Structure 1
Amino acid sequence: MRDFSRQGFLGPDSEAILSSVIVGVVGVGGGGSHIVQQFSHIGVRRYVVADGDTVEDHNLNRLIGATRRDAARAVPKIKVAQRIIRGLNTGVEIHPVSRPWQTAISDFRRCHAIVGCVDSFSERDQLEKFCRRFLIPYIDIGMDVHAVGSEFVIAGQVVLSMPGEHCMWCMGLLDEQSIAEEARRYGDAGFNPQVIWPNGVLASTAVGLFMQLVTPWHQKHQQSVYLEYNGNSHTVAPSNRMMALAGRACPHFSAGERGDPLFGR
């Protein structure tokens, strides 16, 4: 029996809550591998996890739990995620999805929250629409590295998209031009530089938002959240875009429209 006494401040029922809550994780690469590791340490026992990729040598600078042997054997990333989860908890329930997450709608519908660690705009759009359709809080993380003159800037975001509140279209993270450009490249999000520490910062922040959703240790989030990460100054701060949205309703998902009506049919 694991001892969770040092996280007792989360609330007297927090261990039971974390044992019963179902979390979805889409993408268990650089960011998602941090997510499942932290969920496992904190006591989450029920998962729906989707990823169709295998471990390669170039993943080893950021993929938590992966080894050189995994890369040599092209082990599915989802197997690494399961190994992490089962290595920390007994009696866990894992629904692995090694195909596109859209083929496992019935499993993801059961989730109390879903975390997206994906590269493409279209994938983010589909995940958010799905979560709005079924009133599931959606947490999104992402990062990129941009060349500015002779230097590089690390930037990223953590978003909590709450049903009935502002969405990622409102925040400017999704727009028609970006999705259309991606479609012209056949949905390829392209090669994005990745290193382990920004992914860790973003994943830890996402887990913190999740904990505020499900345990009573802190004021619960009833509204959407947009946090910006500056990897050069090592800061995470609320985006000014949310201030501009204050008092305005989301025009993309009205009270009578819950996402894409085709999902789940």
Structure 2
Amino acid sequence: MRADLAINELHLGVLRAELCRFDDTEHAAYVLFGLSRIEQDPFDGQPRLRLMVKDVLRVADDEIKSADHQHISWSTKRFVELLARADREGLHVGIAHSHPRGPDHFSSQDDRNEAELARLAQNRNGETAVLPSLLFANDKLVAGRVWTSPDIVVNLGYARTIGGNWHTTFLATEPTLASPALARQELALGAGFNRLMSHMRIGVVGAGGTGSPLLQQLPRMGAGHIGIFDPDHIEHSNLNRLYGATWDDAERKVKKVEVAKREIERMGLGTQVRTYDSWIGSAECRDALKSMDLIFGCTDDHDGRLLLNRLAYYYLIPVIDIGLALRVTERFAISCLEADGRVSVLEPGSSCLVCRRVVDARIAAEEALRRNEPEEYERRKTEAYVRGEGDPSPAVISFTTSVATMAVEEMIQRMNQFRGEDGSIANRVRKFNLVEDFRPGAKQEPCRICTSDRIHGLGDVQPFLGRAG
């Protein structure tokens, strides 16, 4: 089994402030975690645990029995109280502490103490309870692990920080990469960017107009692992914007994911590709979605966007959602094309697609009805209770490619900060006909997805993502 960590940069800042003080004394904090249990990683087939930091609680001074530069001891009374809270809220209680003078690994005393806390947690909350533990030294996270029983511990492979800028700390062996195909990119973005791209698991939901150019770029940037999700097949009307798709593919109704995989593998760059020709809400897609470190939302259905919208906040997996609207209008009896491309980043600290008025819950419900109960959907369409499919949307390959590139640029910024530390843009709209970019805001009404931290990092719940049906 492997394990990793996702943490909001705000929580990471709190942990550093609590644990890494300049007083040459060990400090400790309690951490509440959400948990993602992945039965089978799509790329290596192994089970995985992903921890998500939900809250950080200081160990108060009056709880500490003794502390110096090489040890800390405190009462476990509040630990038991927090176990009760965790049991109610579907969370797990963990600890974090510091080694002000090192070492940057857990000590034998840490091993003994944590094994007993793991035993206490499972006695109180059952055998599915786990005990995560984080270690800080020299003002940074240097090690982490999770006790799945008092006798079994799994080391964290890496920790991923989200929230504006994305950083990955490798707690095990850092991946190595030396590819002549990426030498020019390394000159621009650095060797660290290339290593991170080779390590990350990137999901692309939708292999159509915007997903297709995205899937041409990511492997050429060194993406080592890509999961592609799309239930549709190639049609003749797709051929003006799907890279690599042929007339024969449309004649044979080849799946879009198969064309995308074929084109990536033809590059010969070593990218591992996994494809899913089911709707993303299907049970067979869950492990794969939960395994990703980043997801690009290239779907044009409202229900799919609503699912990704929740996934970003429940599992602390950033989603870069892409949208393109082309409209042909008339001005002074002259036909004009208006083209708006949008890139929105979904993560705690950023407004969701509901607050940005990108998705419509009613349309999403109609899409779910059409997918799950097609006969009932047709009956309601006949009686005008649902809208029906409507007219096909205009599509031009230059615009779909441009908005996909906008999304890739935002990924680069958050990983590399090429625009500077404050250069990340949570929501950008490009009006191609005006040659201008805008940054629209979001509505101010309270939202239970993005403005309430109740679900942020909550992880596995029943039903999945709290969605009925």
Higher helix share: 1
Alpha-carbon contact 1:120-1:189 (below 8 Å) kept: no
User: Is it true that 1:113 corresponds to 2:289 in the alignment?
Assistant: no
Q: CA deviation at 1:125?
A: 1.1
Q: CA deviation at 1:139?
A: 0.7
| CA distance in 2: counterparts of 1:251 and 1:37, whole angstroms | 36
Compute the displacement of 1:240 (Å): 3.3
The answer to whether structure 1 residue 96 and structure 2 residue 275 are counterparts is yes
In structure 1, the partner of 2:224 is 45
Q: What residue in structure 2 maps to residue 227 of structure 1?
A: 428
Residue in 2 that maps onto 1:256: 454
1:162 and 2:347 aligned: yes
Larger radius of gyration: 2
Matches of residues 110-149 of structure 1 in structure 2 within 5 Å?
A: 110-149=291-330
- Aligned counterpart in structure 2 of residue 29 of structure 1, from 204, 208, 211: 208
Gapped regions of structure 1 (runs ≥ 5): none
SS at match of 1:229: strand
Separation of aligned partners in 1, 2:181 and 2:250? 34
Partner of 2:438: 238
Query: CA offset at residue 250 of structure 1?
Result: 5.8
Normalized against structure 2, the TM-score is what? Answer: 0.51
Task: Tell me if structure 2 keeps the 8 A contact 1:119–1:189.
Answer: no
The residue matched to 1:241 in structure 2 has which SS? coil
Shift in Å, 1:89:
3.7
Change (3 A) 1:234 1:61: farther
Is 1:199 matched up with 2:199?
Answer: no
What's the counterpart of residue 195 of structure 2?
A: 16
Shift in CA distance, 107/130, structure 1 to aligned 2, threshold 3 Å? same
Q: Residues 151 and 224 of structure 1: is their aligned pair in 2 closer, same or farther, counting only changes over 3 Å?
A: closer
Which residue does 2:137 correspond to in 1?
A: none
The 10-residue stretch of structure 1 (106-115 or 70-79) with the greater mean CA deviation from structure 2: 70-79
Which string of whole-angstrom CA distances, capped at 9 and with x for unpartnered residues, describes residues 77-115 of structure 1? 111111222122443222210111222111111111101
State how far apart, in whole Å, the 2-side matches of 1:10 and 1:187 are.
47
TM-score, normalised by the number of residues in structure 1 = 0.86
Residue 249 of structure 1: how far off its partner (Å): 7.9
CA RMSD of aligned residues (A): 2.9
Ranked by relative contact order (alpha carbons within 8 Å, sequence separation 6 or more), the top structure is 1
Q: Give the 3 Å change call, closer, same or farther, for CA 219–263 of structure 1 in structure 2.
A: farther
Give how far 1:6 is off. Answer: 1.3
2:261 and 2:421 map into 1 onto residues whose CA distance is 29
Please identify, of 219-228 and 94-103, the stretch whose mean Cα deviation from structure 2 is larger. 219-228
Distance 1:239 1:161 in 2: 15
Matched residues in 2 for 1:160 and 1:115: separation?
9
Would the aligned equivalents of 1:50 and 1:101 in 2 still touch at CA under 8 Å? yes
Q: Does 1:214 align with 2:415?
A: yes
1:11, 1:216 within 8 Å by CA — same for their partners in 2? no
Percent identity over paired residues: 28
Distance 1:234 1:78 in 2: 33
Counterpart of 1:174 (choices 343, 353, 359) is 359
